[in-house]
Amino acid sequence: MVGRHPSIWGAVFGLGILGIAWLERQGLIDWPWNVVLVVVVSLTLIPLGRAMRHRATACGTDSPAMRAYTRRSMIWAVGYIVLLGVALTARNTWHPQGPVLWFLALLPSLPILYLIWSMGRYLVEEQDEYLRMRQIQAGLIATGLLLVVATVWGFLETFGIAPHAESWWAVAVWALGLGLGGAIQNLRDRQDREP
Please state the closest distance from residue 60 (CB atom) to other proteins, in A.
3
Task: Kindly tell me which of 125 and 189 has the beta carbon lying closer to other proteins.
Answer: 189
Task: Kindly tell me which of 96 and 125 has the beta carbon lying closer to other proteins.
Answer: 125
The conformation of residue 28, written as its DSSP 8-state character, comes to S
Task: Kindly tell me which of 171 and 189 has the beta carbon lying closer to other proteins.
Answer: 189
d(CA 59, CA 190): 8
Please state the closest distance from residue 49 (CB atom) to other proteins, in A.
19
Please state the closest distance from residue 133 (CB atom) to other proteins, in A.
7
Interface residue list for other proteins (CB under 8 A): 59-63, 127-131, 133, 188-189, 192-194
Please state the closest distance from residue 142 (CB atom) to other proteins, in A.
20
Task: Kindly tell me which of 63 and 109 has the beta carbon lying closer to other proteins.
Answer: 63
- 3-state class percentages of the chain: helix first, strand second, coil last, to nearest 5: 80, 0, 20
**Buried/exposed 43-62: b ≥16 CB within 10 Å, e otherwise:** ebbebbbbbbbbbbeeeebb
d(CA 151, CA 143): 12
Task: Kindly tell me which of 31 and 130 has the beta carbon lying closer to other proteins.
Answer: 130
Please state the closest distance from residue 6 (CB atom) to other proteins, in A.
17
d(CA 27, CA 77): 25
d(CA 75, CA 93): 27
